[in-house]
Structure 1
């Protein structure tokens, strides 16, 4: 049996991990941005100071990109607090996590490190290695020009090596592009020369990445509809998603290939469509969601037995201006994933609706009533996806779960887990429904199987040793995957 000190330490680390999964420092339905930042910054400082190895190891977990970048920054800023062995372990984790982060996020991190005057040898080496591994330096130079210039200066890269290729004419050309673009009248690299020509030639902007071409289009006074339709082949899948509202406003045709889209992102796209459009495209959208769920489930598809889910679609799933409908999108994606994982499946939405595709934020949160319906189904697994604000009537869900665990199912024949997509800044945690039911933060439904495993540590019966062993195993898997990926690229 774990000691009380171990249980407290395990709870501290789990608080941080749940926050790092759910919070992005942005406004939520019940807390504003300053509250989120203040709460999150405190947790980062507390766990880094008291549990530094586990703080670094959380880079291997399913935390979001915002917190991954914060962890990297805090570790590099406080390198003097770590032992040599800890610095070596941190360096491997940082390099592996940076390789997975989106390039804009990494360039913002590098700018933050420069502003904070973090310029030790290890930091410069990490920056040089990341830049050297970039697959297309010319694309980075055009698309993230300010970020690349900042990183090159901060890492003390000579002009001939700023492309990451170790020198040569292309490296010198890239150096000129970044630091003295007027020096050359022509660039041999097509993308760099397209950027030069786009200043005075409208046709050249359609050879550029969408985000760069968008600025040139405004400069040249090109109409939004004409620009979107012509630049569409140059857009990434995410860019196509982001411009859908603008495309509808300007009646531009920007097609989206739903095949291969990640499950939670696809759910967000579906919820952004008008209800009439969803109904008209029912077969297409449902087929795409189910296909994404089956890809995510993989070998586990159909292996979870009899599953019931209580899914929150109350008014609070509206989210915020920065995160519109994000809690509902997570619930919708979890619904389709659980359907794929289950042998038999019963979904129960808090609103009582039967049609998941037409889900929209509505009404109070009668979790207790839905839990009674779910437990009557006698499931092997019961998954609750909710922000935990049970209010119709208040507290019923916690009482149902307490009585169920204590009186009706003390042998734990039914596996219960609560996944919460919203960080409660005031309590430094994701809100729990009952002490007897494990709770884990969730942001992407794709992480659901791993989070169900992590949630067992939140029941308060396992200590820091068990949690550390779990995290060590995840670190080994994380670093092993990165090594395999790098070998495949070579």
Structure 2
């Protein structure tokens, strides 16, 4: 049987999990970037100091890359801390720029123990094309190689540290980079971010550059450049349905409402079906309360991010449910017309949702219930204690915004579980994790859950 201390520990760990899932240390509507970073730093130090084994296994959860990098950096600072295989698995899932940034931080901090060097060397050796990385992420590769004293093929070493030593490279991507200094045609064979610098140096017009570099664009680069290229008369349209849900939703919401059409709804639906597999259609009758109030705007550095999460959840829940009904706070029927405006009428919308008698109610909101304040908590209290004490309707609150002052995501009510959310594809796993926050299970069950997640990585 869990002691009171065990239950407190379980709550501490869940608070940390919510923070590590939602916060990236950037400004939010109600807190600055510095407040976010200070709050996160405190949580990392507190959990690592008090629950070091759980802190290490948190890498197996669906935390974001910012917090995964913080955990890895802190683990590598401590001798014998953490599972090297889990660290390697997590590094393999992170974007290369994020990993190279982490390696530079380790070098700056003087973390150069044998295990750290081995992990960095193994990651570099596992890269499918290190020469490509050397061109696209040159400073990051140089820093990692210097830090680990990695032996490189002579040609690659010359490229990184003495590129003028050679008049020709045998590796195609390195030779292309050399030729791009004086041959305009060569730069269109380079990655977009590298070619862009050459184009500016050689005075190539933006429209010409975008048209000719289009075949080299990645999916996310295509998405990011679509509207900008269209203004230049260039078509760089991406395969929208192949995009992650939140990125796709953010792109759709960045368009004027009049330009959001059926093709965007089809792309969101196709992306959601892919994310829902193999659980599509298995969640029974689902009703969602989706926050499109003014606070869903987020902040200038995370523009419309909370609203994009809500929009992505709408389409994913539609795919997961046997039957589905989405209720936006604004009362809009067309999700593509969503925009951040108005008060947070959560209480009234939750009443509307419960009247539909769903098998599962999912609330996606930052939890800032203000019209009137506290109504949502009272509705959920009365519902759970008086009208549905047996819990026939499963209710869960997903919050995309970290509250730096409270060291947690804002909760609507102790009557329902709350979990942080950032990537919509993680929604099924987050609903499972949220159940631990109701106090019905303790530290032993949470440890077993984390150990199982780590073992399956």
Equivalent position of 2:303 in the other structure:
324
- The answer as to 2:240 corresponding to 1:247 is no
Distance 1:313 1:391 in 2: 13
Distance 1:302 1:255 in 2: 31
Aligned equivalent of 1:383, options 359, 362, 377: 362
1:462 Cα deviation from its structure 2 partner: 1.6
- The answer as to 2:97 corresponding to 1:104 is yes
Aligned equivalent of 2:171, options 178, 186, 189: 189
TM-score by length of 2: 0.98
Match of 2:289, SS state, is strand
TM-score by length of 1: 0.92
Equivalent position of 1:224 in the other structure:
206
* 1:39-438 alignment, distance < 5 Å: 39-79=39-79, 82=80, 87=81, 89-158=82-151, 162=152, 171-278=153-260, 281-282=261-262, 284-438=263-417
- Structure 1 residues 68-108: Cα deviation after superposition (integer angstroms, max 9, x where no partner): 011000111122xx4xxxx4x52111111011111100000
Match of 2:106, SS state, is helix
- Structure 1 residues 242-294: Cα deviation after superposition (integer angstroms, max 9, x where no partner): 2234324433321211232222221111111111110xx32x11111111111
Distance 1:197 1:28 in 2: 45
Corresponding pairs, count: 457
Native 8 Å contact 2:226 2:238 kept in 1: no
Native 8 Å contact 1:303 1:343 kept in 2: yes
Distance 1:18 1:245 in 2: 34
Equivalent position of 1:477 in the other structure:
456
Native 8 Å contact 1:7 1:461 kept in 2: no
Distance 2:270 2:221 in 1: 22
Distance 2:231 2:266 in 1: 27
Match of 1:461, SS state, is coil
Distance 2:343 2:149 in 1: 57
Cα root mean square deviation, aligned: 1.0
Equivalent position of 1:487 in the other structure:
none
Match of 2:278, SS state, is helix
Native 8 Å contact 2:241 2:268 kept in 1: no
Residue ranges of structure 1 left out of the alignment (5+ in a row): 163-170, 479-490
Distance 1:369 1:3 in 2: 38
1:461 Cα deviation from its structure 2 partner: 2.3
Distance 1:224 1:443 in 2: 34
- Structure 1 residues 13-53: Cα deviation after superposition (integer angstroms, max 9, x where no partner): 00101000000000011111000000000000000111111
